[in-house]
């Protein structure tokens, strides 16, 4: 086990770094558009934030690190691929640990350099809390967007002609979710992302939602994927595999036989 952990440590670190970068980007663009950008419409501000953060996700998925680690950056995504038998249980545990560490480090680093705007009432550490529609709307919207994102990933990554565009599909969904869903839940889909902002802010409102809903939504997408696909096998747990980077996942369909 120790040998395996040592051998796969680069992927664990890449997952941590990827989510750290994503959190820094999310914080930066939220501060930019909510604090300094003179746009009166909240919808327009969220649209521009969505474009910027979606492009960040796109860049991370197609980055050298994303190509090697698989660009999960999310415990719910890793859990889904583990449920599908593509992630070893040791890799699952360490992916999740490093994702939580990376998210928190990203938030703390941004807070060090932009404490005043980041802690403003408008930005408030970019915490994820239920919006005005309430807790139930928050839960079901988080579950729904998690379901949609993961189902898209499962379908697209397993259609050879479309697989290379998985990152683009994911980025488009992220942009749309930030624009239209954020008022309901803050648009998380990611327990590590929510905990990363709750720790320094001390705001843990309805945190259970940001664990249960993404896990439930993404695991539900597995069952739906099995219903709509004749061939329910999953090629690999990477979001982008058409590259020369090594793959640590189980029964990789791209591995030479």
pLDDT tens digits along 98-154: 999 999 999 999 999 999 999 999 999 999 999 999 999 999 999 999 999 999 999
CB 47 within 8 A of CB 180: no
Domain annotation covers residue 71: yes
- Write down the pLDDT at residue 74: 99
Yes or no: say if 73 and 99 are a contact pair by the CB < 8 Å rule: yes
pLDDT at 257: 41
Q: For residues 254 and 257, what is the distance between their CA atoms, to the nearest angstrom?
A: 9
- In angstroms, the CA 102 to CA 240 distance is 21
Task: Flag whether 251 is in a domain.
Answer: no
Any idea what the CATH number is for the domain that residue 119 is in? Answer: 1.20.1080.10
Residue 128 contacts residue 27 (beta carbons within 8 Å): no
How many CB atoms lie under 10 A from the CB of residue 117? 17
Residue 148 belongs to some domain of the structure: yes
- Of 254, 249, 241, 245, nearest in space to 64 by CA: 245
d(C-alpha 144, C-alpha 52), whole Å: 22
Q: Is the dihedral of CA 117, 54, 174, 20 positive or negative?
A: negative
How confident is the model at residue 173, as a pLDDT? 99
Q: State phi, psi for 115 to the nearest 5 degrees.
A: -60, -45
Q: Is residue 242 part of a domain?
A: no
Query: 0.75 exceeded by the pTM?
Result: yes
pLDDT 10s digit of each residue in the chain, 257 long?
Answer: 788 999 999 999 999 999 999 999 999 999 999 998 878 899 999 999 999 999 999 999 999 999 999 999 999 999 999 999 999 999 999 999 999 999 999 999 999 999 999 999 999 999 999 999 999 999 999 999 999 999 999 999 999 899 999 999 999 999 999 999 999 999 999 999 999 999 999 999 999 999 999 999 999 999 999 888 866 678 889 998 877 889 999 877 665 54
Residue 40: predicted pLDDT? 85
Residue 169 is assigned to a structural domain of this protein:
yes
Residue 217 lies in a domain: yes
What is the DSSP annotation of 78-96? Answer: HHHHHHTT-S-HHHHHHHH
The total number of structural domains in the chain stands at: 1
**Which residues have CB under 8 Å from 35's CB, separation 6+?**
117, 120, 122, 123
CA distance 155 to 225: 7
135-157 and 75-83 helices, crossing angle to 10° = 50
- Using alpha carbons, list the distances in angstroms from residue 153 to 18, 63, 169, 219, 234: 18, 17, 8, 13, 11
Question: What's the CA gap between 1 and 68, in Å, rounded?
Answer: 21
Spatial contact of 73 and 193, defined as CB atoms under 8 Å apart? no
Query: Is there a domain that residue 57 lies in?
Result: yes
Domain span holding position 21: 2-228
Q: Residue 81: inside a domain, yes or no?
A: yes
């Amino acid at each position: 086990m120790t040998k395996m952990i040592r051998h796969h440590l680069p992927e664990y670190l890449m997952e941590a770094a990827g989510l750290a970068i994503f959190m820094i980007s999310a914080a930066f663009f939220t501060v930019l558009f909510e604090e300094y950008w003179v746009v009166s419409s909240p919808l327009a501000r969220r649209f521009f934030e969505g474009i910027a953060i979606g492009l960040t996700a796109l860049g991370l998925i197609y980055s050298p690190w994303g190509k090697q680690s698989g660009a999960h950056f999310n415990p719910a995504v890793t859990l889904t691929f583990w449920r599908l038998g593509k992630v070893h249980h040791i890799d699952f545990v360490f992916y999740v640990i490093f994702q939580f560490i990376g998210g928190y480090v990203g938030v703390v680093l941004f807070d060090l350099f932009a404490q005043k705007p980041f802690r403003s009432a408008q930005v408030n550490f970019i915490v994820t809390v239920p919006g005005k529609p309430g807790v139930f709307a928050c839960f079901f919207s988080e579950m729904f967007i998690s379901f949609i994102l993961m189902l898209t990933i499962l379908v697209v990554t397993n259609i050879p002609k479309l697989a290379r565009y998985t990152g683009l599909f994911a980025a488009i969904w992220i942009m749309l979710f930030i624009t239209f869903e954020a008022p309901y839940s803050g648009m998380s889909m990611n327990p590590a992302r929510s905990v990363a902002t709750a720790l320094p802010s001390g705001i843990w409102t309805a945190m259970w939602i940001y664990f249960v809903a993404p896990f439930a939504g993404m695991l539900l997408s597995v069952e739906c994927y099995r219903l709509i696909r004749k061939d329910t096998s999953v090629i690999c747990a990477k979001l982008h595999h058409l590259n020369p980077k090594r793959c640590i996942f189980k029964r990789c369909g791209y591995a030479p036989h």
